[in-house]
Amino acid sequence: MPAYEVGLMPATAPHVFPPSSTNMATKLPLMAARYSFIGFRDNPFRFWYHSSLKVAEQTPHLSAADEELSDYGSPAQIKRDLYAALQGVNRGIFGVPSAKKSEIGKLVELLESQNPTPEPTLCLEKVAGAWKLIFSTITILGSRRTKLGLRDFINLGDFVQSIDLAEGKAVNVIKFSARGLTLLSGQLTIEASFKTTSKSRVEIIYKKSIITPDQLMNVFRKNYDILLGIFNPEGWLEITYVDDSLRIGRDDKGNIFILERVE
C-alpha cells in the first residue's frame, strides 16, 4: 500500500489525495496526529490542520473561578445573593451550619474577586464613616456563651464601627440588653487606632474599652476578659472589598467580617 494511504504522504507528492476507497472520516484525524506538515504546497491537508489549530488557540479557556463567576453574574447580583444567604443567621455570631457557611464563603470570594477598590488604603475616604456588622465568622459558643449570659439572659444587639480618618481612630460599639433588669440596655465601647501597612492592609492597635452603664458592667465584670477577648480588634485587617454600601475584611486570625454602611 502506498505510504500516503496511511497518512504519511511524502513531501514530494504534489497535491495528491488518497484513493477514493479510503475512509477519509477515519484517516483525516490520523493524518493530523501523525504527519509533520511542511507546507500547503506539499500537503493540501496542512491548511485543514493549521486552521483547526488556530481556532483552538483563539478559543478562550475559562478558569473554574471564571466559570463560577459567570454563573452568578454581575457583582450586584452576587451582593443580592449574599444578602439572601445572610438572612436568618444572626450575623453568624452563634454559629451557622457548615453548608450555609460554605455558601457565604463562596459568595464572599466571588465578590472579593470583583473588588472595585483594589487599593483601599490609598482612598480611605471610601472606608471612613459608620458601618454595621451583618456577618462575621467570630462565634460565641459553648461555655463562653453560657458564662456571658447570652443563652437566655443577655441579648446581643447591633455591632457598629465608626472610622475617623482625621484622628486615625476606629470605635467599635457592641450593644446589649439584659432581661429581668427592667430591660437594662447598654454597650461595650472599644477604641483603637490604626495605621496603613500596605495598599490593602491596616494594623489595628487596641487603646481602651468601657461598658456602660455601670449596672451592665456589673453583669459582665466577672467574665470581662472573655468578652474583650471576643471583640478586641487588635491585629491586622485586610480590606478585601469595599464599595459605597458594603465592606469585607479578613483579619490575622482568619476571620471574615461583612459590614454595611449606615448613616
| Residues 252 and 147 occupy one common structural domain | yes
For the segment 15-24, the average pLDDT, to the nearest whole number, is 45
Verify cis geometry, omega within 30 degrees of 0, for the bond prior to 213. yes
The SS3 call for residue 24 is: helix
For the segment 149-156, the average pLDDT, to the nearest whole number, is 91
Tell me, what amino acid is at 184?
L
Dihedral sign, Cα of residue 221, residue 223, residue 225, residue 229: negative
Residue 123: other Cβ atoms inside 10 A: 11
Q: Distance between CA atoms of 185 and 110, rounded to whole angstroms?
A: 38
Looking at the domain assignment, is residue 14 inside a domain? yes
Q: What is residue 156's predicted lDDT score, i.e. its pLDDT?
A: 94
- Non-local (6+) Cβ contacts of 111 within 8 A are 75, 78, 79, 82, 241, 246, 248
Residue 10: other Cβ atoms inside 10 A: 12
Residue that finishes a domain, picked among 15, 32, 58: 58
Q: How many residues does the chain have?
A: 263
For the segment 21-31, the average pLDDT, to the nearest whole number, is 44
Residue that is written with C-alpha cell 466559570 in the block: 67
| pTM score | 0.72
The more confident residue out of 121 and 61 is 121
* Residue (of 246, 239, 238, 256) closest to 76 by Cα position: 246
* Residue (of 206, 233, 210, 207) closest to 221 by Cα position: 210
Range from 75-79, 149-153, 238-242 carrying the lowest mean pLDDT: 149-153
Looking at the domain assignment, is residue 169 inside a domain? yes
Q: For 86-111, write each residue's pLDDT tens digit.
A: 999 999 999 999 999 999 999 999 99
Q: What are phi and psi of 244, to 5 degrees?
A: -70, -20
DSSP-derived secondary structure letter, 61: -
Looking at the domain assignment, is residue 148 inside a domain? yes
Q: What is residue 54's predicted lDDT score, i.e. its pLDDT?
A: 39
Q: What is residue 179's predicted lDDT score, i.e. its pLDDT?
A: 78
Verify cis geometry, omega within 30 degrees of 0, for the bond prior to 60. no
| Residues 31 and 123 occupy one common structural domain | no
Domain that holds residue 51: 3-58
* Residue percentage of the chain with pLDDT more than 90: 67
Looking at the domain assignment, is residue 213 inside a domain? yes
- Non-local (6+) Cβ contacts of 110 within 8 A are 68, 69, 72, 78
* Residue (of 130, 141, 137) closest to 108 by Cα position: 137
- Non-local (6+) Cβ contacts of 41 within 8 A are none
* Number of domains the chain contains: 2
For the segment 34-50, the average pLDDT, to the nearest whole number, is 43
For the segment 46-50, the average pLDDT, to the nearest whole number, is 41
Q: Are 178 and 212 in contact (CB under 8 A)?
A: no
Looking at the domain assignment, is residue 198 inside a domain? yes
The SS3 call for residue 162 is: strand
Looking at the domain assignment, is residue 100 inside a domain? no
Q: Is the pLDDT of residue 146 over 80?
A: yes
For the segment 142-154, the average pLDDT, to the nearest whole number, is 93
Looking at the domain assignment, is residue 204 inside a domain? yes
For the segment 218-222, the average pLDDT, to the nearest whole number, is 93
DSSP-derived secondary structure letter, 89: S
The more confident residue out of 248 and 183 is 248
CATH number of the domain that residue 254 is part of = 2.40.128.280
The SS3 call for residue 44 is: coil
| Residues 36 and 128 occupy one common structural domain | no
**Beta strand 169-178 with 154-164: parallel, antiparallel or unpaired?**
antiparallel
Q: What is residue 19's predicted lDDT score, i.e. its pLDDT?
A: 45
| Residues 42 and 122 occupy one common structural domain | no
Residue that is written with C-alpha cell 492597635 in the block: 205
Quick one: pLDDT band at residue 263, thresholds 50, 70, 90? confident
Q: What is residue 127's predicted lDDT score, i.e. its pLDDT?
A: 97
For the segment 171-192, the average pLDDT, to the nearest whole number, is 89
- Non-local (6+) Cβ contacts of 249 within 8 A are 237, 238, 239, 240, 256, 257, 259
Q: What is residue 211's predicted lDDT score, i.e. its pLDDT?
A: 97
Q: What is residue 182's predicted lDDT score, i.e. its pLDDT?
A: 65
Looking at the domain assignment, is residue 66 inside a domain? no
Q: Is the pLDDT of residue 130 over 50?
A: yes
| Residues 138 and 10 occupy one common structural domain | no
Residue that finishes a domain, picked among 19, 35, 58: 58
